[in-house]
Amino acid sequence: MLKVNQLDKTYGKDKHSLKAVSFTAQPGEVTAIIGPSGAGKTTILRSVNQLIRDDGGQILLDDQDIRQANKAELRKIRHHIGMIFQNYNLISPLTALENVLHGRLGGKSTLAGMFGLYSNAEKTEALALLDEVGLKDYAYQRCDQLSGGQQQRVGIARALMQHPKMILCDEPIASLDPKSTQIVMDILRKLAQEKQLIILINLHQIDVAMTYADHIIGINSGAIVFEGPTTEVDDQVLQRIYRQDTEIKTMVTADEN
Ligand SMILES: Nc1ncnc2c1ncn2[C@@H]1O[C@H](COP(=O)(O)OP(=O)(O)OP(=O)(O)O)[C@@H](O)[C@H]1O
């Protein structure tokens, strides 16, 4: 389980980006963080694996406080936290298979990593993961020749190559069309359930969060204003989360008519 307690982050002198943020995310579930632009979604996600150093609080992954880890421990912890990104972050001239194998880099010596030395067992595993995300026939295709949705699936397979406990997803569908969105979200939900992974995902699209997430964390101006099962999210909750965000208010109102 991921348990975040009283997490604070201030940029510069007094720009309070996270204010005593507390929430939990369970294995086997998709947990979505939703909220208006600038609310602090990315700051939370990047604090969880300490890409951003926060200013106070606790981040417990299976009872180990990530914030207290020394450099070597943090490297080890991060090896079991996969990340997928809006812009995929693949190495374009390399094949899908090579990109997936890169997920193993964190567990290798610098030399083995530099020379791209992977065992046959690792290659077999990477191929099986590509098969799992429906890309068996694209293993030897360069990533820049794949569609956005296919690239994101390579990103997921790469994260799985880390044998993660948790996958952090920063706006993973923001650049995808509805069909690719559905495929990617179906895969993430299936992975959470079948591999008992913690999937923590930042989303702008409320409808996608409502369809695929088990658990919702609503943030506004750096503070958690809702945490609970998706079934408890109604228009009132959404208005609390998105207050002062005129675009969404209009959307909620339009839905009511
Ligand atoms: N490096 C930084 N320096 C100063 N302020 C920052 C920095 N990164 C983020 N912020 C501020 O922290 C707040 C939260 O930003 P964050 O990117 O986490 O929001 P978000 O909810 O992910 O937004 P979006 O949905 O637009 O991506 C914003 O007010 C932002 O301007």
Span 128-174, pLDDT tens digits: 999 999 999 999 999 999 999 999 999 999 999 999 999 999 999 99
Q: Is the pLDDT of residue 113 over 80?
A: no
Count of structural domains within the chain = 2
| Domain end residue (candidates: 163, 185, 217) | 163
Q: Per-residue DSSP letters for 160-221?
A: HTT--SEEEEESTTTT--HHHHHHHHHHHHHHHHHHT-EEEEE-S-HHHHHHH-SEEEEEET
CA distance 246 to 176: 24
pLDDT grade for 230, boundaries at 50, 70 and 90: very high
Domain match, 207 and 245 both: yes
The reply to whether ligand 1 has any atom less than 6 angstroms from the CB of 40 is: yes
> What beta strand segments (E) does 67-190 contain?
81-85, 166-170
> What CATH number is associated with residue 14?
3.40.50.300
Same domain for 157 and 220, yes or no, is: no
Rounded Cα–Cα distance for residues 4 and 224 (Å): 12
Q: What is the distance between the alpha carbons of residues 205 and 29, in angstroms, rounded to a whole number?
A: 18
Smallest CA separation from ligand 1 atom 5, residue: 11
Residues 99, 144 contacting (CB under 8 angstroms): no
Q: Is the pLDDT of residue 250 over 60?
A: no
**Contact yes or no for 58/67 (Cβ under 8 A):** yes
Q: Which atom of ligand 1 is nearest to the CA of 9?
A: 12
Average per-residue pLDDT for the chain: 91
User: 198 alpha carbon to ligand 1 midpoint, in Å?
Assistant: 24
Q: 168 with 252, same domain? A: yes
**221 and 199 both lie in a single domain:** yes
- With a cut of 90, say whether residue 227 has pLDDT above it: yes
Claim to verify: residue 182 and residue 154 sit in the same structural domain: no
Q: What is the pLDDT of residue 257?
A: 46
pLDDT of residue 110: 60
Task: State residue 14's pLDDT score.
Answer: 73
Closest Cα partner for 179 from 131, 215, 147, 206?
Answer: 147
Domain that holds residue 208: 2-80+164-256
At residue 92, the 3 state secondary structure works out as coil
Domain termination site, one of 143, 163, 183: 163
Quickly tell me which residue has 């602090």 as its tokens. Answer: 40
Name the β-bridge partners of 166: 81, 198
Q: Which of 7, 10, 16, 17 to mutate to test the pocket of ligand 1 (most atoms within 8 A of CB)?
A: 17
Q: What is the DSSP letter of 39?
A: S
Pair 113, 102: CB distance under 8 Å: no
Which of the four pLDDT bands, split at 50, 70 and 90, describes residue 116?
A: low
What's the pLDDT score for residue 249? 46
Give the mean pLDDT of 117-127: 92
Calculate how far, in angstroms, residue 237's C-alpha sits from the geometric centre of ligand 1.
Answer: 22
Q: Looking at the domain assignment, is residue 24 inside a domain? A: yes
Q: Are residues 17 and 34 in the same domain?
A: yes
pLDDT at 114: 60
Whether 31 and 130 map to the same domain: the answer is no
The pLDDT confidence band at residue 178, using thresholds 50, 70 and 90, is very high
| pLDDT tens readout for residues 20-69 | 999 999 999 999 999 999 999 999 999 999 999 989 999 999 999 999 99
Supply the residue whose CA is at minimum distance from atom 1 of ligand 1. 11
Same domain, 142 and 204: no
Query: Do 170 and 241 lie in a common domain?
Result: yes
| Amino acid, single-letter form, for residue 54 | D
Pairwise CA distance, residues 226 & 157, whole Å: 32
Rounded to an integer, the average pLDDT of 11-22 is: 88
What atom of ligand 1 comes closest to residue 15's alpha carbon?
Answer: 5
Mean pLDDT, rounded, for 115-138: 92
CA torsion through residues 116, 122, 124, 126, sign: negative
Question: Does ligand 1 have an atom closer than 6 angstroms to the CB of 35?
Answer: yes
Protein residue whose Cα sits closest to atom 23 of ligand 1: 38
Q: What is the pLDDT of residue 179?
A: 97
Q: Is the CB of 218 under 6 A from ligand 1?
A: no
150 lines ligand 1 (CB under 6 A): no
The whole-angstrom separation of Cα 94 and Cα 105 is 15
